[in-house]
């Protein structure tokens, strides 16, 4: 079992030649923020995609309807290659039972080549 | 002379022990999903009315890799294109076709992904029930009108690769 985890870690660590999108934790918890009636989840986003510099954050219920939320910065954030960003997502306490997913999605820029591009989205599930 | 050498040796030993400091390297293993663009797709243009990622037609299938640390924490949802995100003005309809299948796996048990996958519309969903890496190959083709030539220009389509905690 340990060897399997080690191999996976090696693969993750050694994937420098390719471009990836990494968003954790898998199961964030909503905690009381410094504002009454507002909860927060602390998230971490790592950009290992050279072709992407912008990511959009969104929150959904279990039927993929958008839930209102707030962040201290822009909801479309600039993240340079190999940059890690820690941020808090603020959700109203009344949305606590509805909010299910916190997602980050790549925002791609138009290029001048004919190709199929990859738009990646990773969603964490609120526990 | 002997005393001087002995003193030097003692001083050197003392210095060495003073600089032998343990430098801790810490890390943690947590469940995560990493989505990686392994191969950039390219549309070939084998006939005036066709754009396809098939290698036999000069295209390249886009390949996306999913790495999961722990089994059964995530679902992969891959959507092959059904429209161009960027193209010249098209006055006729475009007929799209596509599919998603496993290309490579890091664990033999992942071979079940192709039989267990759920397909609807242009979406393929796979529960990532085995820890490790899976490479998914996306095939995509577009036909313009009835044997009508695509106008010259740049065409771009998006493959959407999602990793959703379950």
B6 at A interface, C-beta within 8 A:
no
**Of residues B78, B30, B126, the one with CA closest to residue A24:** B30
Report whether A46 contacts A12 (CB < 8 A): no
Report whether B161 contacts B35 (CB < 8 A): yes
The per-residue b/e assignment along A113-122, b for 16 or more CB within 10 angstroms, e otherwise, is: ebbbbbbbbb
pLDDT at B109: 92
Structural domains in chain B, sorted by start: 27-165 (2.60.40)
Distance between CA atoms of residues B123 and A64, nearest Å? 15
Nearest to B35 among A21, A110, A116 (CB): A21
In angstroms, the separation between the Cα of residue B105 and the nearest Cα of chain A is 12
Over residues A48-102, the pLDDT tens digits come to 888 889 999 999 999 999 999 999 989 999 999 999 999 999 999 999 999 999 9
Nearest CA in chain A to B30: A25
In angstroms, the separation between the Cα of residue B37 and the nearest Cα of chain A is 5
**Residue A12 is assigned to a structural domain of this protein:** no
A94 at B interface, C-beta within 8 A:
no
- pLDDT (tens, 9 = 90+) of chain B, 166 residues, equals 556 665 555 555 555 555 677 888 887 777 889 999 899 899 999 999 999 999 999 999 999 999 999 999 999 999 999 999 889 999 999 999 999 999 999 999 999 999 999 999 999 999 999 999 999 999 999 999 998 999 999 898 999 999 999 9
What are the angstrom distances between the C-alpha of B69 and each of A24, A25, A127, B40?
12, 12, 19, 24
Distance between CA atoms of residues A39 and B65, nearest Å? 34
Nearest CA in chain B to A5: B69
**Of residues A75, A71, A64, A6, the one with CA closest to residue A38:** A71
For the domain that residue A61 is a member of, what is the CATH number? Answer: 2.60.40.10
Distance between CA atoms of residues A99 and A91, nearest Å? 8
Question: Which H/E stretch holds residue A118?
Answer: strand A115-125
Q: DSSP 3-state helix, strand, coil percentages of chain B (rounded to 5)?
A: 20, 45, 35
A10 at B interface, C-beta within 8 A:
no
pLDDT at B141: 96
Cross-strand partners of B156: A115, B86
B85 at A interface, C-beta within 8 A:
yes
Look at B154 and A112 and tell me if their CB atoms are within 8 Å: yes
pLDDT at B21: 78
B119 Cβ contact list (under 8 Å, min separation 6): B99, B100, B125
Nearest CA in chain A to B78: A120
In angstroms, the separation between the Cα of residue B14 and the nearest Cα of chain A is 38
Over residues A19-39, the pLDDT tens digits come to 788 899 999 999 999 999 999
Look at B74 and A26 and tell me if their CB atoms are within 8 Å: yes
Count of structural domains within chain A: 1
A68 Cβ contact list (under 8 Å, min separation 6): A59, A91, A92, A95
**Residue A74 is assigned to a structural domain of this protein:** yes
**Residue A8 is assigned to a structural domain of this protein:** no
Look at A11 and B157 and tell me if their CB atoms are within 8 Å: no
pLDDT at B86: 87
**Residue A52 is assigned to a structural domain of this protein:** yes
Look at A116 and B29 and tell me if their CB atoms are within 8 Å: no
**Residue A9 is assigned to a structural domain of this protein:** no
**Residue A91 is assigned to a structural domain of this protein:** yes
Domain range enclosing A30? 20-125
Question: Which H/E stretch holds residue A10?
Answer: helix A2-13
Predicted TM-score (pTM) of the model is: 0.81
């Amino acid at each position: 079992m340990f060897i399997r985890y080690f191999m996976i870690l090696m693969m993750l660590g050694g994937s420098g030649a390719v471009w990836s999108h990494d968003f954790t934790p898998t199961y964030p918890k909503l905690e009381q923020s410094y504002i009454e009636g507002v909860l927060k989840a602390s998230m971490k986003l790592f950009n290992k995609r050279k072709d992407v510099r912008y990511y959009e954050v969104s929150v959904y219920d279990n039927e993929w309807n958008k839930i209102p939320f707030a962040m201290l910065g822009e909801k479309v954030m600039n993240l340079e290659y190999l940059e890690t960003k820690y941020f808090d997502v603020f959700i109203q306490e009344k949305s606590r039972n509805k909010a299910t997913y916190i997602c980050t999605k790549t925002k791609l820029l138009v290029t001048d080549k004919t190709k199929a591009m990859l738009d990646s989205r990773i969603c964490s599930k609120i526990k | 002379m002997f005393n001087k050498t002995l003193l030097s040796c003692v001083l050197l030993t003392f210095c060495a022990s003073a600089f032998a400091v343990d430098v801790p390297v810490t890390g943690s293993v947590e469940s995560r999903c990493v989505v990686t663009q392994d191969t950039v797709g390219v549309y070939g243009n084998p006939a005036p009315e066709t754009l396809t990622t098939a290698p036999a037609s000069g295209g390249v299938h886009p390949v996306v890799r999913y790495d999961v640390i722990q089994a059964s924490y995530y679902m992969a949802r891959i959507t092959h294109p059904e429209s161009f995100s960027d193209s010249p003005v098209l006055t006729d309809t475009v007929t799209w076709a596509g599919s998603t299948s496993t290309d490579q796996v890091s664990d033999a048990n992942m071979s079940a992904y192709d039989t267990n996958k759920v397909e609807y519309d242009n979406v393929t969903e796979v529960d990532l029930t085995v820890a490790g890496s899976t490479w998914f190959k996306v095939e995509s083709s577009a036909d313009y009108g009835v044997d009508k030539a695509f106008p010259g220009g740049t065409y771009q389509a998006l493959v959407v690769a999602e990793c959703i905690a379950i």
